């Protein structure tokens, strides 16, 4: 069994997309990534953690509409 680490692990995670919030690790949808992610497909806040941080009103409202 091969143990992945560092860049290899990063590539593994990106290629096998079960997209997650980069901040809290909550799973997010592909659509959420497309709307809120950056060019690399990284999302820095999802409805779960952005709400906790008090910055998520717009994010949560928009995600409800996706
Ligand atoms: Zn999150």
Residue owning tokens 């680490």 = 5
- pLDDT value of residue 16: 57
- pLDDT value of residue 5: 74
For the entire predicted model, the pTM comes to 0.50
pLDDT in tens, 34-65: 999 999 989 988 988 887 655 555 556 666 66
| Residue 64 CA to ligand 1 centre (angstroms) | 15
- With residues binned 3-state (H G I as helix, E B as strand, rest as coil), the percentages for the chain, rounded to 5, are 50, 5, 45
| Residue 51 CA to ligand 1 centre (angstroms) | 9
Tell me the two tokens of residue 55: 């910055």
| Residue 6 CA to ligand 1 centre (angstroms) | 22
- pLDDT value of residue 38: 92
| Residue 45 CA to ligand 1 centre (angstroms) | 5
pLDDT greater at residue 66 or residue 41: 41
Rounded-to-integer distance, Cα 29 and Cα 33, Å: 6
- pLDDT value of residue 25: 92
| Residue 1 CA to ligand 1 centre (angstroms) | 31
Instruction: Give Cβ neighbours of residue 66 (< 8 Å, ≥ 6 apart).
Output: 29, 31, 32, 35
């Amino acid at each position: 069994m091969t143990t992945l680490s560092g860049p290899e692990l990063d590539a593994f995670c990106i290629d096998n997309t079960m997209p997650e919030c980069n901040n809290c690790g909550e799973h997010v949808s592909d659509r959420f990534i497309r709307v809120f992610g950056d060019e690399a497909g990284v999302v820095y806040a999802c409805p779960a953690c952005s709400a906790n941080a008090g910055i998520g009103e717009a994010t949560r409202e928009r995600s409800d509409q996706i």
